[in-house]
Structures are given as C-alpha cells and as structure tokens.
Amino acid sequence: MLVNLRIDDRLNLPLFLKDFTATLTTVDGEEFHTSATEKQDFDTLYEAFPAVKQLSSAPLLRETLIEPGKSAEGMILLHFPVTKEVWDRRKSAVLSVDLYHQGPITIVIPDAGGRSVEGPNSEQQ
C-alpha cells in the first residue's frame, strides 16, 4: 500500500522523523502491524512488483529533519499480508509517524473513496 503524506511543522522546534508504522484492523477484528519499507529495499521491491514502481513517488524517509515552519512530503510504502478484498473491507487502518523529540502523529488512512474508516482522530503538528 502506498501512502502519500505531507507533514507541516507548525512548532517553533524542528521535527525529526524516526519511524513509520501502521496497524490494519480487519472487519473480523484481526490486527496486522507493519513498519514502512526501508530505503534500501525499494529497488528489490520494484523489481519484484513493477506495477508498484509505476505508482510510486519520491519517498518520505526516516531521519528526515523538518525545520520550523517548513514541511516534508513523500510516499510511504506499507505491506500488509492481506488480500485486496480484506483491505477494502477493513475496519480501520492507522499510520503512526514516530518523532524523536515529540509524541507520535497518528493518521487514519481513508478508504478508496477518501472516507475515514474507524480509528483515532488525526493529529497534525
């Protein structure tokens, strides 16, 4: 799954991106946890799944520094070992952006129609 994310730093402090993790909850209540694909794994993944490469854009990487008043954006690639049908019928999908010196940012991943499915409220720094 590809997520395009933009983070605006509205604080008077720099933000340091530490990690990107996500949780998928199926309609049956089963939970799957994943961490975003690492930079060094993109080429191997694109070779195995050429269609993913066609949909991809510049990644938002761990260890990115966002200066106060600035923003960073890019693609985050997540892998959940479920079928498209399970993904489409999910109860919720939530992305957590972990920061080094602040609490995490939690974002509900909307469905294909752009509607939020169950999950915590989005927070933005």
Q: What is the pLDDT of residues 44-58, one digit of tens each?
A: 999 998 999 999 999
Q: DSSP secondary-structure letter at 89?
A: T
With CA atoms as reference, report the closest residue to 39 among 7, 63, 61: 61
Q: Tell me the two tokens of residue 21.
A: 């993790």
Average pLDDT over residues 30-40: 96
**Confidence grade of residue 80 (pLDDT, cut at 50, 70, 90):** very high
**What number of other Cβ atoms are within 10 A of residue 97's Cβ?**
24
> For position 112, what pLDDT does the model report?
62
pLDDT for 121 beyond 60: no
**Confidence grade of residue 116 (pLDDT, cut at 50, 70, 90):** low
Task: Specify the amino acid at residue 84.
Answer: K
